[in-house]
Homo-oligomer: A and B are copies of this chain.
Amino acid sequence: MSAFPLPPGSTIGILGGGQLGRMLALAAARLGFDTVILTPEPDACASRVATRSIVAAYDDAVALEALSLVAGVATFEFENVPALVVEQLQALKVEVAPGPRALAVAQDRVDEKTFLNGCGAATVAFVAIDKAEDIGPALDRLGAPALLKTRREGYDGKGQTWVESHADAAAAFARLGGKPSILEARADFRREVSVIAARGRDGEIAAYPIGENHHENGVLRRTRAPAHVSAETQIQAETIAARILNGLDYVGVMGVELFELADGRLLVNEIAPRVHNSGHWTLDGCEVDQFEQHIRAVAGWPLGPTTALARVEMENLLGEEIDAWPALAAEPNARVWHYGKGEARPGRKMGHVNRLSGL
């Protein structure tokens, strides 16, 4: 096991080769760390900026051993890392952060909401659904329409469907492939917001100002941050984040997606045990961005300041929208981030732009 704080010159292992891994690698480099990316993709965009890459399946034993020989600590850019992989890395004496408990909780929507409610972070009411027949009684309890989601592996609006009425129950269950699911009460929310928070190895917690999120077709379109919220709302979000982070004995950055209700209460929609798309505004809005913050946390460094230095509107550039880069590069207060991905497939996250204005 490594000694913390991990000194510059050490290597940080990152599972996953997408844009989050790329921006983590860039942040690690600023602090003097080498990086090794484990990804099944031969030409991943994170690998193009990392010191080394291992191209293999995440559960490839030889690859994990190779990673363990160089990495002082391992982390990941996506939450569906198999629990087995984390166990294998730990057996190879590699510290993994965030730990297996955070992964397990984030991988199963029923476990996630059960944990959240247990640590004092409110969510919508929900019922676990194992078979189509469970939906009827659940609908009676939660009211219709209600949102049916697979317990595992949904993201960006995939793996979910509305159940409009009792008559729709069997069809809805079939639409999701008949998998173990969760039925969630509809949240009557005013806004979707999120808070990006970090917890260090010493238990120190730091949260960024709340961002306000707008989705299109289940995919994040833009985040405005700091959002115009009251100090009470910011404190409420930070309290929720702290309960979750402490409850999981978490190390690293977490994205906490929240519903803001009409009465001002915040409900947790879901948590992402990693850096988060709605935190990309910090790249240009804060002294220490979420990527460096995550590296600091997992490396056992003190956390950095989370104060906003500017107001930022972050807009995702999906598919061909990236072709607007020449115009964006000429906008005086726009900062373009291009992920260096090859093909601009429809809906693919190719980059983002941060538009800055005064606080």
What is A's interface to B at a CB cutoff of 8 Å?
5, 7-9, 22, 25-26, 29-34, 48-51, 284, 287-288, 296, 301-302, 304-305, 309-310, 322, 325-326, 329-330, 332-333, 335-340, 342, 351, 356
Contacts and interface: CB of A to CB of B under 8 A. Distances in A.
A336 B31 contact: yes
A335 B287 contact: yes
A29 B28 CA distance: 13
Contacts of A330: 302
Contacts of A9: 340, 342
B287 A333 contact: yes
Given A302-B330, A305-B332, A340 B32 contact: yes
Contacts of A288: 335
Nearest to A335: B287
Chain A at the B interface: SS class: loop
B325 A7 contact: yes
Given A29-B49, A31-B336, A340-B29, A302 B284 contact: no
Given A302-B330, A309-B309, A309-B310, 15 more contacts: A8-B351, A26-B29, A29-B48, A30-B338, A32-B338, A32-B339, A33-B340, A34-B48, A48-B51, A49-B51, A287-B356, A301-B326, A304-B332, A305-B332, A305-B333
A289 to B, nearest CB: 11
Contacts of A337: 30
A287 B287 contact: no
A342 B332 CA distance: 38
Contact of A29 (B22, B31, B309): B22
A63 B29 CA distance: 26
A26 B301 CA distance: 22
Given A8-B338, A301-B329, A342-B9, A26 B34 contact: no
Nearest to A296: B329
Q: Which of A22, A329, A335 neighbours the largest number of chain B CB atoms within 10 Å of its CB?
A: A329
Contacts of A34: 48, 340
Contacts of A309: 309-310
A31 B339 CA distance: 8
A8 B49 contact: no
A329 B7 CA distance: 11
